Amino acid sequence: MPYIKIEVTREGVTREQKQTLIKGVTELISNTLNKDPNLTHVVIQEIDLDDWGYAGEQVSVLREKGITADKK
């Protein structure tokens, strides 16, 4: 029973985007590891920007400064 957890920052990921992620990851696990898709669980957890950080700063603070991961 594969369990896949996807964590993303809470920034408006749509229901449709989540469905695409769930379907794509399930297919990848099924095709790559030959796992039954009916037993594959995918969880998407959205994290507040205040609760996610890198480079010693909260993402919310970095965004206020106009800094994104690709600009660092």
Q: Is 37 a catalytic residue?
A: no
| CA atoms of 8 and 25, how far apart (whole Å) | 15
Strands 53-54 and 57-58: antiparallel
From 1, 2, 27, 32, active-site residue: 2
| CA atoms of 64 and 49, how far apart (whole Å) | 11
**Residues with active-site annotation:** 2
